[in-house]
A and B are shown apart, each in its own frame.
Chain A
Amino acid sequence: AQTVTQSQPEMSVQEAETVTLSCTYDTSESDYYLFWYKQPPSRQMILVIRQEAYKQQNATENRFSVNFQKAAKSFSLKISDSQLGDAAMYFCAYRETSGSRLTFGEGTQLTVNP
């Protein structure tokens, strides 16, 4: 069974600084999707960024980028120029190509200090 591990329950960053959230996963599949979701205090899940495993290029969305290391099964999220609105719980998630169910990590609570 696939598992997703986020080893940082909490992280903090100063406004305008850069922070990296870690995620590792375990799978025997060669093709799959990886996601980072943000859950602010409203509890609404928001997609931050998506990576297809067959793509070697790391995904980037404005201030958010990933470091995808397929061999190491690592998928970290880098947030540049952190803003107060980035404060939230961040979940790493995995999905097989053939299915649509997501497997979530435990989450990392990010605090942004002014």
Chain B
Amino acid sequence: GAVVSQHPSRVICKSGTSVKIECRSLDFQATTMFWYRQFPKQSLMLMATSNEGSKATYEQGVEKDKFLINHASLTLSTLTVTSAHPEDSSFYICSTGTHNEQFFGPGTRLTVL
């Protein structure tokens, strides 16, 4: 299957700063990427769907101005958490794939102090 990488794997930042998470599809043309958020011992919650060359579609309740998504190429989508606060601390996962298989990145653990 396709390989999806995320960078960084872990990040600790101060409250009020912005953090960028990269999701790269190494051997698959990712026209669509999905961004999920996962709190401890909970399920993956879809935050937004990013489409190459166009604006992302956000799920209800997700602030698009706080979680900025850019999908400028078929291999890279980025999620920027702006003005991060402790409640944004979570595990963020991206995925891409076909209609019958999704390939997930290894995730990024964000801790906001």
User: Is B42 an interface residue, CB under 8 A from the partner?
Assistant: yes
B-side interface mostly? strand
Find chain A residues with CB under 8 A from B106 CB: 42-44
A-side interface mostly? loop
What is the minimal beta-carbon distance from A93 to any residue of chain B, in angstroms? 9
User: Is B101 an interface residue, CB under 8 A from the partner?
Assistant: yes
The number of residues on chain A lying at the interface, defined by a beta carbon within 8 Å of a beta carbon of chain B, is 23
Instruction: Verify B104–A91 contact, CB threshold 8 A.
Output: no
Which residues of B, 26-43, contact A by the 8 Å Cβ criterion? 32, 34, 38, 41-43
30 A-B pairs in the complex with CB atoms less than 8 angstroms apart: A33-B100, A42-B106, A43-B38, A43-B91, A43-B93, A43-B106, A44-B106, A44-B107, A45-B93, A45-B95, A45-B104, A52-B100, A97-B99, A99-B99, A100-B34, A100-B98, A100-B102, A101-B34, A101-B46, A101-B49, A102-B34, A102-B44, A102-B95, A102-B102, A103-B46, A106-B42, A106-B43, A107-B41, A107-B42, A109-B41
8 residue pairs, one from A and one from B, having the closest CB atoms: A45-B104, A104-B43, A43-B107, A104-B44, A106-B43, A107-B43, A44-B106, A100-B99
